[in-house]
Structure 1
């Protein structure tokens, strides 16, 4: 078995795009792959193939990053031909080759339909991918719900209990610190095991400043007397407007204010002409998922994320 990136020769990228994908997990089209390559989000050095001794391509792995990323952020596509007797062995060899070249183990983001657990062909496809993750150091699993709002859902009414205003960087830093306490978000909880809340807040702010959204979109949420209730950080991806980050400070939780903060983000994007707004939350973050449901956001897919364990 030979594992190689699409940098090896001028035909490799075309071979990767033309890979005859089979199996139940949805595959990217050749047109979409070339579009991502043109946008510098897929790159030849991040596209890897496995071929047998006869030169037949048996598997492909496509890693994704932002246009300015130094390294790939996530494995976006992993496929092995259904004719392969041991897909785990081939997929693991492919990932190990890529990881060695990157000097890192990017997470694997596997997008599935919302009903995947009731479909045997999909549970089998996920099973060999999970085993591949275990063999290649991606042993930690998180499941996330991907939500989507469209105009058909309607624009929520303005908040009657909160006011929203722009704030300075130090105010937002403090707000990020405060809403992280007691968070149900898996990534936030993990990060707080190894760093203090202020360091995490600085990193979160840097992340959202690097996203395609604008800093001028951000809002602090306050009660009528000026008491901080939370924050709203409307954002964007390379593809859609996005909810971004939102939260309620611990002492104001349990009052339904998250609905009004989410409503503010939805209204903002809608006022800017957005036809679609995306959002994600962990399946374990039940209150946030319930808020999306109440706001008429619909679950469009479930993402099974496999990643390297966080340092203790």
Structure 2
């Protein structure tokens, strides 16, 4: 697919060109082959800009296994900004068709704003994506807990059990959306009811994670069994994760989030998980503080960009 003199923009031909695609360094490179094997990526979703045999820009999209369309654009590198612009011009419509492109995410070191090279490369890529209509949606903190980190001892203030059924968890998910500080949840609530948002998140995200549902925990008060909150420990195909947690509005302000997070972490620690990961919005300071108190450390930041319809 020629775009400019001496430039070829095209998807890779197959797994045999993964090494070519990985010419440019990025932390997801080691996952590309496994993702292709697992059906999380397709060759037609991995694009390169080439001058001869030199990769001057690239982009990639990701989905859950078996999905017909990608849900995330998670790689875009453009050492040559002009070639990156041409790559986006060709690849975005080819991958997304007439639909709004899926969101773009970029993983960065925690100090990326103070790292001149990382900041320069990131700002260049964001500017190119901005030319196509993408806008920064949220910056997120990525957290990691490692074995050997002290676990908060059970306080006895709450009891924990698996959900009785999906409906019970969805009911609590609906409740915790009241006053949510999560950017994606707040955006959902501009377009749908809290119930619809909870059902959609359950069906499109939580229900599709690996890991048994008996890992999931409902937190209740001893005695009356009143639900206080919940936590969803899971596995995303790469790592053990805390997928979702929350405390219902009626029980906020008592520090229960620490007990709830500790219970979820303990479930995964008991499975000998080599690491446990989670993510929060930078602006969600109460949740970020809870992860920090639980011994999680920030190992990356993530920038999310979205396109408007």
TM over 0.5: yes
1:191 aligns with 2:193: no
Are residues 1:202 and 2:199 paired?
A: yes
Give the corresponding residue for 1:255.
254
Query: What does residue 72 of structure 2 align with?
Result: 74
TM-score (structure 2 length as normaliser): 0.89
- Residues 232 and 262, structure 1, Cα contact 8 Å, conserved in 2: yes
Instruction: Count the aligned residue pairs.
Output: 300
Corresponding residue number in structure 2 for 1:17: 19
How far apart, CA to CA, are the structure 2 residues paired with 1:222 and 1:97? 49
Contact 1:116 1:122 in 2 (8 A): yes
> Could you say if the C-alpha distance between residues 104 and 3 of structure 1 is closer, same or farther in structure 2, counting changes exceeding 3 Å?
farther
Q: Equivalent of 2:148, from 148, 152, 165?
A: 152
Q: Gaps spanning 5+ residues in structure 1: where?
A: none
SS at 1:38 equivalent: helix
Structure 1 3/13 Cα, relative in aligned 2: closer, same or farther at 3 Å? farther
Question: Which consecutive unaligned segments of at least 5 residues does structure 2 have?
Answer: none
Q: Secondary structure at the match of 2:33?
A: helix
Change over 3 Å in CA distance of 1:43–1:265 after alignment to 2: same
CA distance in 2, matches of 1:254, 1:96: 45
Task: Please say if residues 217 and 232 of structure 2, whose CA atoms lie closer than 8 Å, have aligned partners that are also in contact.
Answer: yes
Partners of 2:66 and 2:17 in 1: how far apart? Answer: 25
- Farther off after superposition, 182-191 or 153-162: 153-162
Task: State whether structure 2 residue 274 is matched by structure 1 residue 275.
Answer: yes
Query: What is the root-mean-square deviation of aligned Cα atoms in Å?
Result: 2.2
Residues 21 and 27, structure 1, Cα contact 8 Å, conserved in 2: no
* Distance of 2:32 and 2:167 partners within structure 1: 41
Q: Are 1:216 and 2:214 an aligned pair? A: yes
Query: Is the counterpart of residue 140 in structure 1 residue 139 in structure 2?
Result: no
Distance (whole Å) between structure 1 residues aligned to residue 236 and residue 290 of structure 2: 21
User: Displacement, 1:56?
Assistant: 4.4
1:44-92: CA deviation from partner (whole Å, max 9, x where unpaired): 111112234x564322112111222211121221122x3x363552353
The 1:95–1:304 alpha-carbon spacing in structure 2 relative to 1, beyond 3 Å, is farther
Query: Equivalents in 1 of 2:44, 2:97: separation in Å?
Result: 9
**Any conservation in 1 of the 2:57–2:84 contact (CA below 8 Å)?**
no
Do the aligned residues in 2 keep the contact of 1:91 with 1:132 (CA within 8 Å)? no
The within-5 A match list for 1:1-312 is 1=3, 2-7=8-13, 13-19=15-21, 21-22=23-24, 26-29=26-29, 32-52=31-51, 54=52, 56-80=54-78, 82=79, 84=80, 86=82, 89-101=85-97, 103-166=99-162, 167-206=164-203, 207-224=205-222, 225-309=224-308
CA shift, 1:121, in A, is 1.1
Judge which range, 54-63 or 118-127, deviates more: 54-63
> CA 1:260 to 1:28, structure 2 compared with 1: closer, same or farther past 3 Å?
closer
* CA–CA separation in structure 2 for the residues paired with 1:150 and 1:102: 43
